[in-house]
Amino acid sequence: MRHRALPLLVAALLAPGAAARAVTLETLTLERPEGPRTVLLAEPAAGAPGLHPLVIVLHGHGGSARQMLGRGPGKSPLSLWLDRVDRDGLVIVAPDGLRGGDGKPGWNDCRRDARTKPPVDDVGLIGEVIDRAVAEHDADPARVYLIGMSNGGMMAFRAAIELGPRLAAFATVGASMAADSLCPAPTHPLPVLVMAGTADPLVPYAGGAIGHGHRGTVIGVEA
C-alpha cells in the first residue's frame, strides 16, 4: 500500500463547509450474526441525479458514529463530511462498533495482541454496509471510500486487506498497522492517505505499544 494524496478525501477534510441545508442522519439497523448493528447514513437531497460516491467513516476506540459526525459530545474533524453531502453528492455512512473487553465500543482490527477488541466480524459488517448503500441509496460501487480514526483507522487497514477490490481508496487518522497481525499481507494495491502525529501519545509514530491497558502493538507509520 502506498501513501499518496487522495483528492476527494483531502478536499473534504480541508475545505470549509458550505451546506445548503441541515443534513438529516438516518438510523439503519443491520441484522448480523452477533446481533443488530446500528449505522448512521446521510445522503444527497431527494432528486440528486446519478450514482454517488460512498464514504464510510469509522470512529475510534470508545467513540461512536454520532460523535464522529458531530452529533455527539466533543468535536470531530471528520464531521466535515456532512458539509459535503449535497455539495459533492456523497453518501456518508458511519457504523457503530461493539463493546470489547474493556467495555468500550471498538473494532476487530488486525491486532492479535489487543485484549480490548470485540470478537465480531467487522469486515463482514463493512461489506454489508457497502451492499446496502449500493442497493438502496444509489451509492456507486466503483467509488467506495473508507476513512477511520485511531482504532477505526486500524479497522480501515484490515478492511483494505480483506475488501481491497471493493474499495477505491482509504485513509487513516492517528492509526498504524498491527505489529503482531492476524491478517494476511495486502495483495490488492490501493491509494491510501495516512495522517499521523509524531507526538501522538496513544499510537506511537515510530511503533510500539498503544496507549494504556493491553491494546496491542503497531509498526511505525513509515515502516
Task: Give the domain CATH number at 71.
Answer: 3.40.50.1820
pLDDT band at 208 (very low <50, low <70, confident <90, very high): very high
What's the pLDDT at 9? 52
pTM: 0.89
Q: What is the pLDDT of residue 18?
A: 44
Examine the pLDDT at 81 and tell me if it is beyond 50. Answer: yes
Distance of CA 188 to the CA centre of its chain: 18
Residues 157-161: what's their mean pLDDT? 98
User: DSSP string covering 110-146, please?
Assistant: SBTT-SSS--S-HHHHHHHHHHHHHHHS-EEEEEEEE
Model confidence at 59, pLDDT cuts 50, 70, 90, reads very high
Write down the mean pLDDT value for the chain. Answer: 90
128 phi/psi in degrees, rounded to 5: -70, -35
Half-sphere exposure of 156 (CA within 13 A, CB side): 34
Alpha-carbon span 81 to 70, nearest angstrom: 10
Query: Distances from the Cα of 124 to the Cαs of 22, 32, 51, 105, 194, in angstroms?
Result: 31, 9, 23, 17, 23
Burial class (CB in 10 A: 0-12, 13-18, 19+), 5: exposed
pLDDT tens, position by position, 186-199: 999 999 999 999 99
Q: What is the pLDDT of residue 46?
A: 80
The CA-atom distances, in angstroms, between 132 and each of 103, 135, 165, 222 are 28, 5, 17, 35
Between these two residues, 150 and 9, which has the higher pLDDT value?
150
Residue 87 DSSP one-character state: T
Overall average pLDDT of the 98-124 stretch:
96
Residue pair 127/135 in contact (Cβ under 8 Å)? The answer is no
In this predicted structure, the answer to whether residue 89 has a pLDDT above a threshold of 50 is yes
E strand or H helix at 51, and its extent?
Answer: none
Domain that holds residue 15: 2-219
Number of domains in the chain: 1
Residue 170 to residues 18, 47, 75, 202, 212, Cα–Cα distance (Å): 24, 28, 22, 22, 27
